[in-house]
Amino acid sequence: MRDIAWLIGGKTGEGVDSAGEIFARAAARAGAHVHTFRLFPPIIKGGPTSYEVRAADAPVHARADALDCVIALDDETARRHGPALRPGGLLLIDDGRAGPAGTAGDGAAANGAIACPVPFTALARDLGGPIMKNIVALGVSARLLGVDAAAMRETVRRRFDDKSARVQEQNTAAVDAGWRHAGEHLAGHTRAAGLPRTRAAGRWLLSGNDAIALGALAAGCRLYASYPITPASDVLEWMAAHLPAVGGAAIQTEDEIAALGAVIGAGYAGVRAMTATSGPGLSLMTETMGLAGMAEIPAVIVAAQRPGPSAGMPTKHEQSDLLHMVYASHGEFPRIVLTPGSLEECFADTALAFNLAERFQCPVIVAVDQDLVLARSTAARLPLDEVRIDRGERLTDADAVRLGETYERYALTASGISPRAVPGQPGTRFLSSGDAHDHRGVIDVEDPEVRRAMVDKRLRKTREVWRHAAGTVVEGEGDVLVISLGSPCGPIREAAARLRGGGRPVRFLQIRCLWPFPAHEIGPEVARARRVVVVEHNATGQVASLVRSHVGGHEKVTGLRRYDGLPFRPADIEAGLWPPS
Amino acid sequence: MAAVLTHKDFAAERATWCPGCGDFAVLRALQDACARLGLAPHRIVLVSGIGCSGKIASYMGTYGFHTHHGRTLPVATGIKLANRDLTVIAAAGDGDAYGIGLNHLIHAIRRDVDVTYVIMDNGVYGNTKGQTSPTTAPGVTTPSSPLGAVDEPVHPLRLALAAGATYLAQGSSGDPAQLTRLVEQGVAHRGFALINVISPCPTYDRIRTYQWWRERLTNVDEDPAHDPGDSRRAWEIVASRDTEVVGLLYRAPRRALDERLPGFAAAPLAGETLRPDLDRVRRILDEEYAV
């Protein structure tokens, strides 16, 4: 695989994100597979921010080990990201800003990278606005990295589609000014090999959040309720924009308790509904999750993790809420926790979550993480037509009338699953309750026999889950077994490919469903491995603890953990699996 | 022609409240109001919370959802949006409504979701044996305030009016006929209807008895000069009388949440086919995501 990694950094409010998105889109339009990574602070204006775009001639699902080009709109960017440049890489520092020239490029130079001052701001000012320095930088980048000028101009113009013709002209002129400047002053730094690309048409560039929202829409979600929180707010915004087109609604509730409450109300009334949140919101939802468990109401919860506890690092990455999802809420009840590891899996698993929630009448959590939901990547068009809808065991109105007063909402069946009726159906009036109840729904908080029968009934529901959901995906051969889930799967696959190429075989087991824990699939894999490395973004080894407690193998289960707020790079995994001896 | 409905058509289990509990009259008022409105029992959902009041969902012969503490309104909102043809009634205690779930009340009011909210306000936490509630009067001794309650109570009527309630009434278990009328009007109101009900607790509140309230309550429904459409007048009443008033205090027409949501389906979502118009969706997606 050939790839290049480009990064633009500056202060929030300077158009860093816009430039990053445009570069990603222009590279994708030119035929590159693209993966992006944003590093941003919870400061709306003036904080340090960066946008990395990795373009390759094969699918990429990880940030780069080293950078080829850094656009530093300020010295801090040069200091932070310059050292990540590979030897021969380019550090282009804006020299049109106020303040003395300093030592910002030293870190890059120490690595053998080349630091060049470029008058991004000055060129933009000449065109009528220093704010366009980001667009000038795109013109420079296009020329140096081999992105077609016309493609870059067109991508920029489209970005300002909703602006006046004058703004569009100014910005395309900014692309041209950057392009010319690079030709006149930086010609020696042009990458001769050009942009890595393939011939492909019809790709999409989208984020995990986009894929989640699309999966929900395709699965028939009609009501969405949530409270804004990073990194899940995109889903709320998407739903607010698109659910009205299918007659549904997105409501922004007063808190996450109300969000899940509304989802449960809708689920009880027979409508597919969802909420998305992050750690703090999930904490607020825990009591309500228990209501869905006890009253056997379908509910889909997307939980996008960020570093905790408490407010933690709102704009950074972690996977430290996994055990919370598995155990959240008091008492015992079945729940399902799905763990997609790619855009395509975000789409498929969110759609699947609705089927599982209705079939097993319980909360289903789609466990994702900041990097997975925020990173934009290229993907084949998502297969909307292939989404299968399974509403589980439901009563028709004719059934409801026939059964009438004999209907038992919580009937004690062999599977534990009791056919559902919904309010509005004639004949089957029943009570759903967070209080303990019997098979008819009548509250019973006394009888020990009823208690035991109802607990067993609820808990046996998810025994059948493996007929409907994959527990794991396993690939490669080797006596080193890597176990992981979520966004690390991208860098793990890349690292494993390199290791295999270097004669170091690795077997990779991706957990697709964390709960119920697929011990029946993981157990044999752990048994045949010589060494097991559980890769996860937390300090305490949450997935490793589940592996140990459900399948054993204590002596050989080790961990590779990162919990500094940043996602793994492939090289981290490579070095972690096979430390240089 | 359909048979005329009575309260018996809305009966379920026998209630287990203490003898003399005000909640009996609330249950009967709900049943009578639904019968008078001619609503089919299977077209109604009663959502309740926790405590003595929460038990009402077991006693009402409609669809019922006995939820957790304080969260009747979020659940009721989800039900109403899922099936806008259903009549959704939430019944809660003063702890649910004005303590643990107060946040939801203010937002349900401003959202104006078409739910009738009946609060069985007895000024005490009865089901946990008599501790203070958000509407306990200062100075009252209870197991959790052995030296007398120190906090100013929540003033439900002032609060609801300030939050922008479009239907605000207070009834009393001591006057079931009026209470039934208030519930009936509240259910008919297209939007959020708040009916606070003075529902005395004969077990844990020996002071604010039926008789105590009867001596203090002013009935605005009997005042020919009272105009429920006059918000200034409503403010004057709750400012001067606080909770010592019954009747329909204020009513204003406004479009309910399900009527204001852009693009919201006219038919209940619960009856919709789930498969969206994929061609339409694809057009949107190609615009947003194609490179």
Alpha-carbon distance B74 to B61, whole Å? 22
Q: How confident is the model at residue A543 (pLDDT cuts 50, 70, 90)?
A: very high
**What distance in Å separates the CA atoms of residue B219 and residue B202, rounded to the nearest whole number?**
23
Distance CA A243, CA A237 (A): 10
Which residues in chain A (474-533) have CB-CB distances under 8 A to chain B? none
| Any domain includes A54 | yes
Residue A556 is assigned to a structural domain of this protein: yes
Task: Reduce the DSSP state of residue B42 to 3 states and report it.
Answer: helix
> Would you call A264 an interface residue with chain B, using a CB distance cutoff of 8 Å?
yes
Residue B222 burial (10 A CB sphere; 0-12, 13-18, 19+): exposed
Average pLDDT over chain A reads 95
**Angle subtended by helix axes A133-145 and A149-159, to nearest 10:** 150
**Which residues, 6 or more positions from B3, have their beta carbon under 8 angstroms from its beta carbon?**
none
A-chain CB neighbours of B78 within 8 Å are: 223, 225, 261-269, 273
CATH number at residue A521: 3.40.50.920
A240 and A145 in one domain? no
pLDDT band at A111 (very low <50, low <70, confident <90, very high): confident
Q: State the Cα angle at A280 between A275 and A283, rounded to 5°.
A: 80
pLDDT in tens, B35-85: 999 999 999 999 999 999 999 999 999 999 999 999 999 999 999 999 999
- Interval B135-179: pLDDT, tens: 999 999 999 999 999 999 999 999 999 999 999 999 999 999 999
Q: Which residue has the tokens 């010295």?
A: A75
| A274 and A365 share one domain | yes
Judge whether A391 lies within some domain.
Answer: no
pLDDT for A347-371, tens place per residue? 999 999 999 999 999 999 999 999 9
Q: How much is the pTM?
A: 0.97
Residue A440 near residue A410 (C-beta atoms within 8 A): yes
Encoded tokens for A346: 């975000």
- Please give the ipTM for the structure prediction: 0.97
Q: How many domains does chain A have?
A: 4
C-alpha–C-alpha distance, residues A73 and A134, integer Å: 8
- Same domain, yes or no: A345 and A429: no
Alpha-carbon distance B101 to nearest alpha carbon in chain A (angstroms) = 10
Asked whether A191 and A145 are in contact (CB, 8 A), the reply is: yes
Contact between B72 and B49 under an 8 Å Cβ cutoff? The reply is yes
CATH number at residue A317: 3.40.50.970
- Same domain? A429 vs A285: no
Q: Across the interface, do B281 and A28 touch by the CB < 8 Å criterion?
A: no
Same domain, A455 and A487: no
What is the tens place of the pLDDT at every residue in B194-244? 999 999 999 999 999 999 999 999 999 999 999 999 999 999 999 999 999
Give tens-digit pLDDT for A409-456: 999 999 999 999 999 999 889 999 999 999 999 999 999 999 999 999
Taken in order of first residue, the domains within chain B and their CATH numbers are 7-264 (3.40.50.970)
**Interval A19-34: pLDDT, tens:** 999 999 999 999 999 9
Tokens 């006890």, located at residue: A294
Please state, in angstroms and rounded to a whole number, the distance separating the CA atoms of residues A506 and A578: 10
CB within 8 Å: A269 and B277: no
Q: Do A266 and B13 touch (CB under 8 A)?
A: no
Residues A373 and A436 in one domain: no
Q: What contacts A243, CB < 8 A, 6 or more positions away? A: A217, A221, A222, A223, A224, A249, A250, B263
Question: pLDDT tens-digit profile of A312-353?
Answer: 999 999 999 999 999 999 999 999 999 999 999 999 999 999
> What are B88-133's pLDDT values in tens digits?
999 999 999 999 999 999 999 999 999 999 999 999 999 999 999 9
Nearest to A534 by CA among A504, A503, A511: A511
Do A259 and A371 belong together in one domain?
yes
Strands A557-561 and A531-536 turn out to be parallel
Tokens of A499: 């290791």
Does residue A359 lie within any of the structural domains? Answer: yes
What local confidence, expressed as pLDDT, does residue B2 receive? Answer: 59
Gap between the Cα atoms of A186 and A137, Å rounded: 13
The answer on pLDDT for A270 being more than 50 is yes
Structure letter (DSSP) for residue A373: H
Per the structure, the complete domain to which residue A224 belongs is given by 205-386
Assigned domain for A392 exists: no
Amino acid letter for position B6: T
Q: Tell whether A302 and A439 lie within a shared domain.
A: no
Interface probe, candidates B10, B63, B280, chain A, greatest A C-beta count within 10 A: B63
Average pLDDT over residues A95-102: 58
Q: Which of A406-410, A552-556, B86-90, B255-259 has the lowest mean pLDDT?
A: A552-556
Q: Is the pLDDT of residue A579 over 90?
A: no
Of A444, A465, A486, the one marking the end of a domain is: A465
Tell whether A262 lies on the interface with B, counting CB pairs under 8 A: yes
More confidently predicted of A566 and A385:
A566
Indicate whether A178 and A306 sit together in one domain. no
Residue finishing a domain among A332, A351, A386: A386
Residue A197 located in a structural domain: no
In a domain, A421, yes or no: yes
The CA radius of gyration of chain B, in Å to the nearest whole number, is 20
Using an 8 Å CB-CB cutoff, list chain B residues near A434. 66-68
Report the gap between the CA of B275 and the closest CA in chain A (Å): 6
| Chain A residues 336-395 with CB within 8 Å of chain B | 378, 381-382, 384-385, 389, 391
Q: Residue A277 has what pLDDT? A: 98
Residue A198 forms part of a structural domain? no
Is residue A249 within 8 angstroms of chain B, CB to CB?
yes
Closest CB from B43, B66, B290 relative to A204: B290
Angle of helix A208-218 relative to helix A233-242, nearest 10 degrees, comes to 40
Judge whether residue A528 has pLDDT over 90: yes
Closest Cα in chain A to B56: A431
Co-location of A217 and A352 in the same domain: yes
Co-location of A352 and A304 in the same domain: yes
CB A17 within 8 A of CB A53: no
Are residues A253 and A185 both part of a single domain? no
Percent residues over pLDDT 70 in chain A = 98
DSSP of B103-137: HHHHHHHHHT-S-EEEEEE-SEETTTTSEE-TTPP
Q: In what order do the strands lie in the sheet with A363-369?
A: A249-252, A223-226, A273-277, A299-305, A363-369, A336-338, A513-515
Last residue of a domain, one of A465, A484, A508: A465
For residue A151, what are its two tokens?
């493609």
Q: Taking CA atoms, what residue in A is nearest to B61?
A: A429
Which A residues 424-463 touch B at CB under 8 Å?
Answer: 424-435, 442-443
Residue A100: pLDDT band by 50, 70, 90 thresholds? Answer: very low
